[in-house]
Amino acid sequence: MTESSPLRSRLRTAALVGVGAVVLASCAQDAPQDTWDPAGSEAQRIHDLQWPIFMIAGIVGLIVMAVVAICVVKFKDRGQPIPEQSHGKAWLEYMFIALPAVLLAGIAVPTVATIIELNDTDDADCVINVTGQQWWWEYDYPIAGDGSICGYMPTGETGTIVTSGQMVIPTDAKVVIRGTSRDVIHSFWVPRLNGKRDMVPGGVHTWNFNANEPGIYAGQCAEFCGLSHANMRMEIVALDAADFQSWIDNQLEPYQPPEEGTLAAEGEAEFVAQCARCHQVDGLTDADGNLVVAHPEDQVYSGAAPNLTNLMTRNTFAGATWDLLVEDCRDEVWDAPADEFGPLYLEGVTDECLNETQLKQWLRNAPAMKPMYTDAELLEPTDGLVRGMPYLALSEDQIDKLVAYLLERK
Amino acid sequence: MFTTGTKLLIGSAALAWIGAAVYGVAQEGALGTIGLVSAAVALSLLAGINTFVRDSNVSATDTESFETSAAAQATARNSLWPLLSALGITMMALGMATLPAIFILGIVVTAAGLLEWLVQGWSERASAERAYNDEAREVLADPLELPVAGAIVFAVIVYSFSRVMLGMSTKEATVVVFSVLAAVVLAIGTMIALKRNISTPVITGVFSIGIVAVIAGGAIAGLNGEREVHEHETTADLAEENECGPEETHADDKASQTVAAKSNPAATLIFDGAALEIDQAGDDGNSETLTLPRSNPSNIMFLNESDGEARLVLELHPPVDESGVPISIERICTTLVEEGGRQFMTAEFDRPSFALEDEGVAYEFVVAGTDASVEVVVP
């Protein structure tokens, strides 16, 4: 018996470590973007299709790799004479053509059927407009002819709801999104609810999904869209009927100004002076009582900035990348059982649960947290318009006031 | 020791590693460095595999036979390709100092010269027999050279034709001249077809004269410049002049009544003669308002299913200055759309709808001269 060489031994160890790493990676827990864990009917359709295809492809792949490995090892040049070369075995060649053709045809039939089913936008229960821009998602809820929103009639006066980062939907409802982009191509992807759909500027692209149970479903922009592509996340929050009705009613509540003489009231003035050029808060008025209308198109390349009217009803900010909730409160909401989730989510961000550290850090210097194109010296290509939130040189006093004001936006 | 393929991969891997180091230090760019390091790792892996399996070619290790074979003894023939490459490099240098177009052309010429030189060099060592080597070169180079040469000749002819057409004093003169020219081409073609034993030099001569004439005509016309082309009025002019009414205008004259790209509009507005209906994905047909995003161009398709012509108009209600004059265009419109026709309209809204409420107005699509309308909600 020959002794294996040190090189061969090292290669074997490296291969084992590589394979082991791959195997261990598949054991990941707490993976909110797991395509193998569908939570809605569309994702289930994809799952039912990809399992058998994965099995077929995996078996074919293993066979091919095994044959290649055998050939590489067995027929390696060791100075032996070149084997006799032969050509022609018609039945084998026919089989090599017919077998893949049959396999592909067999895969094509359910694949095409699934694609058609996934693109069916008829009989929608809820329609939401989605607009992507560097590097966050905006959602607005159109009003139906009868005044309802997403199939739910507001208890008070109806109106348009605009939000960002977290899209709220009712459970067990067929949701159709009409998506587009304001700047570059983005891709909407919440793996547990459906596959990816590109959002291309100038076009409107539809996609649909539903969520079986209340909860938060995480997603990620799936088309490279610039510097902070990795920080462009999205979350879909599913609420049961009663909770969704409460959410809609709350979103349509008229603007409540802070109580006079409070830190939040001072924060409102700071907001008008510093933030309202880009960020809209519906119903906000200036010192003269004039309605404040944000004009992000004068400052931002995409022409939009997140609407902050009900910021504290969401629990993430800055493209759903950072939490508005401290870790314990966040875990409580994310890990809540389906029947307890809605009320917890609707509580929004409370004084005790506010992630003040990161929110203040963001206000202190946003580009230091999330890479963005905001350096005034490098904005020639965009005629001075920023892509992202710039450094505003706010004092700690201003930041405290703004946080106090924002905490009341729910 | 190392096969040619392995040497290539080792060299490429080394180049990628050096490139990654140089880029990382000189540019301080993480993304580029990561890309180059990834390429270097991949190339190193391939080089390692290739070394292990020896290029899957046992005979490749036998370098002696390559150096002593009869094919390797041929003397290199004269070649014009180095001259072409030199010309290309000169153009690149010239282009760096003058026009980017010359630089790009220089790159193309240099690449073509080097490629041809490479093919010639390879073919001269294909065998010890010169005739076979020439044939080998043709087999490899002809599929590349002939389409490229054909494309260049075709482009020159088309460009020359276009210069001549644009150089004519009037559109009518262009029609007459090219009708006569087409008749002459047809006549010559017919004569060639009818005469059975026509010699190749004659055909070559006729075609050469024709091509030279076209190029010369194009050059002369190009130097003389284009005739003044009257600009056709558009719907943008209608909006500018506030003429988005139901009457026919110059902008409607000969306007296309078809839309090429019908996919992915924000909505289709269908006019049946009395009302506008909204057709949107996910919509049950009962929507009375259209919700469109702010600060983003939205494409709306207008489909006229009425018995007559119709024009879709979007009332924009722009802000006014101190003297009450609108600071931008008040409305935009499509051309007059014939029965069954379609038109696209691209609209962008720079104020949310609630900002218009104080003025008692709203964004609105209307059909000119009718009561049909649809309100637009801009969140």
- B378 CA: distance to closest CA in chain A (Å): 9
Residue A147 touches chain B, beta carbons under 8 Å:
no
Q: Is residue A363 part of a domain?
A: yes
**CA–CA separation, A323 vs A313, rounded Å?**
12
Sign of CA dihedral A339, A344, A347, A348: negative
Q: What is the pLDDT of residues A81-120, one digit of tens each?
A: 877 777 778 888 899 899 999 999 999 999 999 999 999 9
Q: Is residue A303 part of a domain?
A: yes
For chain A, the domain total comes to: 1
| Number of residues that this document lists for chain A | 410
- A121 CA: distance to closest CA in chain B (Å): 5
**Token code pair at residue A150:** 């997403």
Q: Which of residues 277-316 of A touch B (CB under 8 A)?
A: 280, 282, 291, 293, 295-297, 302-304, 307
Residue from B276, B296, B299, B363 whose CB has the most chain A CBs within 10 Å, to mutate? B296
Give the residue from chain B lying closest to A303, CA to CA: B295
Cβ atoms of B353 and B378 closer than 8 Å: yes
Q: Is residue A29 part of a domain?
A: no
Q: Is residue A113 part of a domain?
A: no
Residue from B57, B284, B294, B317 whose CB has the most chain A CBs within 10 Å, to mutate? B294
Question: How confident is the model over A2-22, as a mean pLDDT?
Answer: 79
Q: What is the pLDDT of residues B109-166, one digit of tens each?
A: 999 999 999 898 888 888 888 888 889 889 888 988 899 889 998 999 899 988 888 8
Give, for B150, the enclosing helix (H) or strand (E): helix B130-167
Per-residue confidence at B75, pLDDT binned at 50, 70, 90? Answer: confident
**Token code pair at residue A223:** 């088309």
Q: What is the pLDDT of residues B223-245, one digit of tens each?
A: 888 888 777 888 888 888 888 88
**CA–CA separation, A166 vs A314, rounded Å?**
7
Cβ atoms of B259 and B343 closer than 8 Å: yes
Q: Which of B94, B135, B87 is nearest to B114 (CA)?
A: B87
Instruction: Please name the member of B291, B295, B299 whose beta carbon is closest to the beta carbon of A303.
Output: B295
- B286 CA: distance to closest CA in chain A (Å): 5
Instruction: Please name the member of B296, B297, B351 whose beta carbon is closest to the beta carbon of A293.
Output: B351
Tell me the C-alpha to C-alpha distance, in Å, between residue A398 and each of A264, A299, A316, B156, B219: 11, 21, 22, 67, 69
Can you give the residue range of the structural domain that contains A374? 263-406
Cβ atoms of A113 and A120 closer than 8 Å: no
| Number of residues that this document lists for chain B | 379
Q: What is the pLDDT of residues A295-317, one digit of tens each?
A: 999 999 999 999 999 999 999 99
What CATH code is carried by the domain that includes residue A267?
1.10.760
Give the residue from chain A lying closest to B57, CA to CA: A77
pLDDT recorded at residue A171: 96
Instruction: Please name the member of B293, B358, B379 whose beta carbon is closest to the beta carbon of A291.
Output: B358
**CA–CA separation, B306 vs A238, rounded Å?**
43
Cβ atoms of B79 and B114 closer than 8 Å: no
Instruction: Please name the member of A72, A131, A208 whose beta carbon is closest to the beta carbon of B293.
Output: A131
Contact check, Cβ <8 Å, A206/B281: yes
Across all residues in chain B, what is the average pLDDT? 87
Residue A1 has pLDDT above 50, yes or no: no
Q: What is the pLDDT of residues B250-308, one digit of tens each?
A: 888 877 777 776 778 999 999 999 999 999 888 777 788 999 999 999 999 999 999 99
ipTM: 0.84
Q: Is residue A395 part of a domain?
A: yes
HEC assignment per residue over B246-275: CCCCHHHCCCCCCCCCCCCCCEEEEECCCC
Q: Is residue A299 part of a domain?
A: yes
pLDDT recorded at residue A168: 98
Instruction: Please name the member of A131, A144, A280 whose beta carbon is closest to the beta carbon of B296.
Output: A131
Q: Is residue A81 part of a domain?
A: no
Cβ atoms of B75 and B125 closer than 8 Å: no
Question: How confident is the model over A398-406, as a mean pLDDT?
Answer: 97
Give the residue from chain B lying closest to A128, CA to CA: B282
Across all residues in chain A, what is the average pLDDT? 92
Give the residue from chain B lying closest to A138, CA to CA: B293
Sign of CA dihedral A46, A50, A52, A53: positive
Q: Is residue A302 part of a domain?
A: yes
Number of other residues whose CB lies within 10 A of the CB of residue B47:
21
